[in-house]
Structure 1
Amino acid sequence: MNNVRCEVLIIGAGPAGMAAALAASESQKHIVMLDDNPRPGGQIWRDGPAAVLPTLAQFYRQAITALDNVTLLSGTKVVAQSGPQQLLYENDKGCGTIDYQRLILCCGARELLLPFPGWTLPGVTGAGGLQAQIKNGLSLQGERVVIAGSGPLLLAVADSVTQAGGKVTLLAEQASVTSLARFASGLWHWPEKVRQSLRLMNRHYRANSYVLEAQGQQRLTAVRVQQGGKVRTIDCSRLACGFGLVANIELAMLMGCRIENAAIAVDDMQQTSITNLYAAGECTGVGGSELALAEGAIAGYAASGNIASARALLEKRSKWQRFAAAVSQTFVLNPRLKTLGTADTFLCRCEDVSLGQISRHKGWTAAKLNSRCGMGACQGKICATAARYLLDWPLPQPRVPLTPVRLETLVNLTPQPPKDIN
């Protein structure tokens, strides 16, 4: 088992993590970045054979690579807290522990997927999931695609589908026309977003619309959609759904950080309720890459002792916090989405556990004790998150290990003496 030590440890190499590393590196402290993806960029700047990275993403990647005091451990996942200021990790080479003086959590967010009849059919994916497949080389040439759910991500996914040769037949946004018009009228505060929205606007975009059912036998052939006061059936070969994003806070909860509004609570310097533990990006509240970059830089400067540089970024962060608040208010989910699934609709796709099997319970723990819900590969990241929204359950307390790992990794939960990276 490999044991390493660093002064600043950053979990996550998305925009927030890279901004944090770049800021902290100015202090010449030894920094380790740990990320579960094969290449840095997170989900928004995900790389792949068919991905075209934005200029800003390329800048951050090149800047991080050029730093001799930053070590990036890609394809690596956190398993547990294995001691005071020590984390246990695993990758394809084995496992190890990292001792740190300062920790910055940039764990990002994941899609909220809500169950409805037929959502487990082949051809139905998450909106971000389809975008990730496209970046990895998936061709949609000649395919008819319906995109549904809520939030600005849907427009970006539609653009990716078109670039991959697919035909978007409907982009169903559940938010109302009134909410969208109010949001659009205030976009002038953020000129960058005006330009972006004009570039991404899709003629098949429809407000007050949501999927009722995915239809097909062996795979998806059509979707039934509520569009305003009408119900339509649309032929398609793919359906991509995403009902917003949910902060990844499991590691923070395990370490005892204070949680507010299902996100990690931080102060002006991005410090959590635990001394020397910072957080930035979507795990502190979903807000987009611009906010993540500002928060990451503030956290990096603060964690490395450069408070003056951190304070210089407060106004920039405030600007994008206002945008995040506007997005959040616009795309509040319609309560009717809680009623899409029926008693026999699967909630847990991994273990085939239906909504009817778990809806009578009072919380996630009771549901797991009485079914195999959450026992599959995702360890409840999809079904527990959906259940929390559908049934108004409290946040479940995460348990070790945070992710499925090899047995040889589990036996190393005992803290080990660290050594420096050569």
Structure 2
Amino acid sequence: MIETTDLLIIGAGPAGIAAALAAAPSGARITLIDDNPLAGGQIWRDGPQAKLPTLARQLRQDLQHHTNVRHYPATRVIAQSGARQLLLEDPQRGWRIHYDKLILCTGARELLLPFPGWTLPGVTGAGGLQALIKGGLPVSGQRLVIAGSGPLLLASAATARQAGADILRVAEQAPRSAVAGFAAQLPRWPHKALQAFGLFDRHYRTDTHVLAALGSDRLEGVRLSQRGQIVELACERLACGFGLIPNTQLGQALGCALDGHALAVDEWQTSSLVDHYAAGECTGFGGSELALVEGAIAGHAAVGDRDAARALWSRRKRWQGFADTLNHAFALDPRLKSLAQPDTLVCRCEDVTYAALSGHRDWREAKLASRCGMGACQGRVCGGATSHLFGWQQAAPRPPFSPARIDTLLCLDDTPPA
């Protein structure tokens, strides 16, 4: 079976929702897919302990009012099956969909940098811990250290604190001067200033980064460099996140060009491929406000309403200013490249150490020699780490892009030559 749609939107986070709502009044047939069970993406992730903001709930309701928007949750892209055609899979079936235009809103994932002990049970990503807590993970009474860089640390700490965790330290690697400079700029975006004030934690320390997770069978403590001094804290959980990496894999597989580590787009959010747009954090990290306006611009542009898209350019510029300020303030210190020791695992799926990778020239050579990136995560974790550590650029992924059932892959047998 081949389904057809005028506009396919991949990703139902803020950018994808905004794109669908902007395009819906045109009457176009719109299909919105996401691998999560509910719309909202990672930032508005739902769960037993999640408290969604009013805006997220309102946008979900608005989506339901448009009969020309079909939302397929728990759905993944498995492969490209022809020109403007993708193979999809949900828990019940696999099928192909043909689209006239496409908007990529594939978001971003955490950058996890390897350090001694980072694979111990009890160590997670900062955003990963937040998602686990929203999904029902009990942390009440547990001692918790959060380390890395960026505002996600404070957001994760707030979620954990509300769930009853004992926050021992929020370790921000950026220097005090950079964080103070960022805070001084926040009045330009009053909502963000108010948000930052509400998230402040008295255990927040700048110029502080993780050195090692301590323990044998599971996490027992953490060693930090805190403003030049070594500090050790006993704890049950350590959450580390060193910023975000744009999810560009699908865009690359389709042939979209990159701008640095993000998908390249023009003023209409158009990628290097005709009729293929991109919006949100796959084009660079800037927060939900930037993702919403970029998604709306892409949605208007995709259905030919360029006047409505152009009217949003000034708002996008405003939030791009915030993104630039944020990314400059929380740039990663070069010292973080030396956290891993020779025997520290970099690719945890295939047990590949830092020493096994350091002598190679690029990602392909390292992959051939060590199986780095060939495990379950398919390089989604170690790929970002090796890019930061060695400057390697990952190649475009090959299908299937995600694990798939045999009956889904058999749908490709009926695919005519492109």
What TM-score do you get using the length of structure 1 for normalisation?
A: 0.97
User: How far apart are 1:415 and its partner, in Å?
Assistant: 6.0
CA distance in 1, matches of 2:184, 2:27: 45
Q: 5+ unaligned residues in a row in structure 1: which ranges?
A: 418-422
Aligned residue number for residue 323 of structure 2: 324
User: How far apart are 1:376 and its partner, in Å?
Assistant: 1.7
CA distance in 1, matches of 2:375, 2:165: 32
Aligned residue number for residue 178 of structure 1: 177
Amino acid at match of 1:315: S
User: How far apart are 1:149 and its partner, in Å?
Assistant: 0.2
Describe the superposition over 1:42-71 as per-residue Cα deviations: whole angstroms up to 9, x where unpaired: 000001111111000001111112211011
CA distance in 2, matches of 1:325, 1:399: 32
**Helix, strand or coil at the partner of 2:219:** coil
Is 1:315 matched with 2:279? no
Aligned length: 416
Runs of 4+, deviation exceeding 2 Å: 394-397, 406-417
User: How far apart are 1:22 and its partner, in Å?
Assistant: 0.4
Aligned residue number for residue 375 of structure 2: 376
Amino acid at match of 1:232: V
Amino acid at match of 1:76: T
Matches within 5 A, 1:106-125: 106-125=105-124
Report percent identity of matched pairs.
Answer: 54
Q: 5+ unaligned residues in a row in structure 2: which ranges?
A: none
User: How far apart are 1:235 and its partner, in Å?
Assistant: 0.6
Matches within 5 A, 1:156-195: 156-195=155-194
CA distance in 2, matches of 1:39, 1:351: 32
Describe the superposition over 1:352-410 as per-residue Cα deviations: whole angstroms up to 9, x where unpaired: 11111122111111112112221221111001111111011123222111122223333
CA distance in 2, matches of 1:254, 1:395: 12
CA distance in 1, matches of 2:290, 2:304: 21
CA distance in 2, matches of 1:345, 1:65: 48
User: How far apart are 1:318 and its partner, in Å?
Assistant: 0.6
Q: Is the 8 A contact 1:208 1:227 kept in 2?
A: yes
Aligned residue number for residue 62 of structure 2: 63
Describe the superposition over 1:64-122 as per-residue Cα deviations: whole angstroms up to 9, x where unpaired: 12211011111111112111111111121121111011100000000000000000000
User: How far apart are 1:140 and its partner, in Å?
Assistant: 1.0
The alignment yields a C-alpha RMSD, in angstroms, of 1.1
Range 104-113 or range 307-316, more displaced:
307-316
Describe the superposition over 1:143-172 as per-residue Cα deviations: whole angstroms up to 9, x where unpaired: 000000000111100000100100110000
CA distance in 2, matches of 1:393, 1:376: 18
Matches within 5 A, 1:9-408: 9-408=8-407
Amino acid at match of 2:395: P
**CA 1:296 to 1:3, structure 2 compared with 1: closer, same or farther past 3 Å?**
same
Q: Is the 8 A contact 1:151 1:331 kept in 2?
A: yes
Amino acid at match of 1:160: T
Describe the superposition over 1:9-64 as per-residue Cα deviations: whole angstroms up to 9, x where unpaired: 00000000000000000101110001011111000000111111100000111111
Describe the superposition over 1:315-363 as per-residue Cα deviations: whole angstroms up to 9, x where unpaired: 1111100000000100110011011001111111112111111221111
Q: Is the 8 A contact 1:265 1:284 kept in 2?
A: yes
